[in-house]
Structure 1
Amino acid sequence: MHGFLTHLRISLILNCRNLQALIFGYVVPVFFLIALGSVFGGPNGLTAASMGQVLAISTLGGACFGMPITMVGERERGVWRRYRLTPLGTGWFILSTMIARFLIVASAALLQYALAMAAYHLPLPAHPLDLVLSFTLVSFAFIGIGLIIATVATSIGAVQALGQTLFLPMIIIGGVGIPVWNLPAWVQPISLYLPGRYAVNALANSIAPAGAFKAPYCLAALVVIGAAATVVGWKLFRWEPGQRLARSAPLWILLAVGTWIVIGVIAHANPAFVPAR
């Protein structure tokens, strides 16, 4: 346990020293808050739906860019070789890394919410505990995905490329950057196959009077996506910069993506599971 806590502390310190990770973790979320607040903030202030988008973007950026950039940078510099010589096992190492990232994205979310209340008259969440639960599950899902990116990527440039292949679709057609109901009718079903749709729904419901359990399927989807991604990231984890991925890597990655497809198929067959509004 001492080694676990020590690595958690070191991870937080190293994250705070990484300029790119700080930009994706704090600057980018505030930028999106201002952008979405300016576009979707009506005369009565920022809505719960828009704030759900803001929090989802914040978590997505921190998990799919901030965490992998830090992890790949450490691995490429040989920092992990020292960790490998300690009694701290791979599972505990991954867990402490994920918790450190969760604390960072949670602090960014608190900053965003405080700024939204001050600048855009956002009220306190109608269901604070629901919001904590939803945010935790959203973070779990996105951080798990970020773990896969960090494991597969061989350089920081590769992290940015892989991150964009996930970030941009979720922003554009996944309901994260543009509200689902503003998307063309033929695009809306596609968003059901992307984790961002469930993240925004869960967060927005927690802020609004409806509550997170208005759509429990979204919460369950986030748990499944996060669990599958974390297992895949753990199975493919690499300590050394030159270490090759296992031959079974494509199958494991297919498993993670397959959960998105199954979840999307079920949601598409049951529209009431994931309401557009």
Structure 2
Amino acid sequence: MSAFMTHLSFEFKTGIRNKNLLLMNYLFPLGFYLLMGAIMPGINPFFRETMIPAMVTFAILAATLLGLPDPLVSARESGIFRSYKINGVPASSILFIPGLTTGMHLAIVTLIITFTAAFLFDAAVPSNGLNFFITIVALSMACSGLGILIGVVSPSTRMTVLFSQIIFVPAMILGGLMLPFNMLPEAAQIIAQLLPATHAMNAFNGLAMGLTADFNPWASVAILASSGLLAFGLALYLFSWDSKNSQRRGHPLLALLVLLPYVIGILVL
């Protein structure tokens, strides 16, 4: 347990001391939050109703999808994981602790956004704090799992950018952060339901903000949580200690199984 706590403390401090992680965990999401808070209500007054969940969702997407994969790939390429293996550090800790510490940083950012948005921008506050918290946890699980899975299967730091942007950019456009789900064309709605941001905003609206959900909000929470658990499981199965290893326990394309809960959601909801 002492080794786990030491590793956890080191990773948490790294999230503040490392300039790239500091940018993704704090500066980028909070800067974007202030920018959108100053601009969007003038363009769309209804944005105030979903501003807090939208900015929290953005913060989680940025910290996990853009911040988590690169350090994992860099550590594997530099041989750090080999030294971990020699010293008996399990693969589960290598994957779980970065996700946990990122979640701790996100908790701070979420509190800042939640408690300042109403004062600074007259944003609507959550009507149900417990459901708001549950949705945040489910979204954090889903996105942290995706970020870690990308770091595990990506062959290089350059590819992490590509894989992360494949999810991040559509989430910004189709995920309900700026444009409501019900305003999307039918084909775009199907694509949107493959994104964690869509299910997060649906759950936030229906369970925490007192707004109308576009489909079952509890199903969205279940999809997010199950996809997060599946992503962590796949990452652990596909994990490689060394980038020079020619053998893997499974093909990297197995990572696409993480989409299974979302596909089932499209068929059922």
Q: TM-score, normalised by structure 2?
A: 0.87
Q: CA deviation at 1:82?
A: 2.6
Distance (Å, rounded) in 2 between the aligned partners of 1:101 and 1:223: 17
Give the aligned partner of residue 254 of structure 1.
Answer: 256
**Total equivalences in the alignment:** 267
**Secondary structure at 2:67's aligned position in 1?**
helix
What TM-score results when the alignment is normalised by the length of structure 1? Answer: 0.85
Instruction: Show the counterpart of 1:270.
Output: none
Match of 1:9 in 2: 9
Displacement after TM superposition at 1:159 (Å): 1.4
- C-alpha distance in structure 2 between counterparts of 1:109 and 1:91, whole Å: 26
Equivalent residue, structure 1, for 2:267: 265
* TM-fit CA distance, 1:229: 0.9
The aligned runs of 1:108-187 (5 Å cut-off) are 108-187=109-188
Q: Distance in 1 between matches of 2:54 and 2:237?
A: 31
Cα distance 1:5–1:52, how it changes in 2: closer, same or farther (>3 A)?
same
How far apart are 1:120 and its partner, in Å?
Answer: 0.8
Identity of aligned residues (%): 24
Q: How much does 1:184 deviate?
A: 3.3
DSSP 3-state at the match of 1:125: coil
Give secondary structure in 2 for the equivalent of 1:122: coil
CA drift at 1:123: 4.7
Q: CA deviation at 1:39?
A: 4.6
Partner of 1:36: 36
CA 1:196–1:232: 2 relative to 1, 3 Å: same
Q: Which runs of 5+ in 2 are unaligned?
A: none
Question: Residue 219 in 1 paired to residue 221 in 2?
Answer: yes
Helix, strand or coil: the match of 2:176? Answer: coil
Distance across 1 between alignment mates of 2:144 and 2:20: 17
**Per-residue CA distance 1:77-100 (angstroms, 9 max, x = gap):** 333233222333222332222211
Per-residue deviation, 1:71: 2.1
1:106 alignment partner in structure 2: 107
- Structure 1 residue runs of 5 or longer lacking an equivalent are 268-277
Match of 2:53 in 1: 52
Q: Distance in 2 between the 1:64 and 1:220 partners?
A: 20
User: How far is 1:58 from its partner?
Assistant: 0.8
Could you tell me how far apart the structure 2 residues matched to 1:44 and 1:262 are? 35
